Structure 1
Amino acid sequence: MPRGNPENLVSNSDRTPEERRKNAQKAGRASGRKRRKIKAAKEYMKMLIGLPLDASQRNLAKYMSEAGIDEQDQNQLSLMLMSLMKQAQKGNIKSAELVLQLVGEMPASKTEITGADGAPLIPERPPLYDLSKLSHEELTSLARDAFKEDKGGEEN
């Protein structure tokens, strides 16, 4: 919903080509600034999750080593993943789903909408034509007829 006074809004169709061009340039610049800002945030986050464990987290280093995580791989990301795994083990459903999703084991979900009688609201339709029972000659004839219709009845 527009802010301010909607009566002051001017449609693009009422603007001159020069005004539209200037507005498009402003929008393009703003879009570029936003994209650069998002890219920088992603780069900062990648840098942050790669940082080594700090002194207050060193007690977890032994636990990580026992879990088989090499010392050079003990960083903020591995700590987050271990914390996620602990939460999943404690019964946090969202954490468990994320762990399964990360390792590619999340089952695909399929929702079927049914009516009061339990029958699907949108029943599966049989194919319009079952071509599997047709012979090679019948298929060739169908294709030839369809080609004739496309060409306006002429055959080359």
Structure 2
Amino acid sequence: WLDQLSAEGKLAGNTVLDFGCGSGILALAALKLGAAAAVGVDNDPQALIATHDNGERNGVHIAAYLPEDEPVATYPIVVANILASALDALAELLAARVATGGQIALSGILHGQEGELLERYAAWFDQLEATQDGDWMRITGVRRA
């Protein structure tokens, strides 16, 4: 999905939020594909260290925060690769982080769990689409005003 955004010129000059960043792999990929900046958020302090270290190893900077320390902002692109239960619980917060007209990609969703999340995120997003890859699903959408 990030490579598609890059090919469409939608990453260049933009900041990407990787919520539940873990090792920072999505933020790192976004930067390598042309994003201007990336912000990672995770509730595990060790994940923030891993994100920072992986950025350094790859010659890029990823600003990484605990949820309570994250500067409140909106982003043109938000990615979250976390369990469906967390995506459900965080729906309002994640929606608030996506700028009007911005895009979201949710992953970490097992096939069969996408229906409930599609309904939940429909409160904030248009063009919601679920894509399957094996047992896993990705949901994408565009934030409406």
TM-score computed with the length of structure 1 as normaliser: 0.18
Of structures 1 and 2, the one scoring higher in RCO (CA 8 A, sep 6+) is 2
Higher helix share: 1
Query: TM-score normalized by structure 2?
Result: 0.19
Indicate the structure with greater strand content.
2
Question: Over alpha carbons, which structure has the higher Rg?
Answer: 1
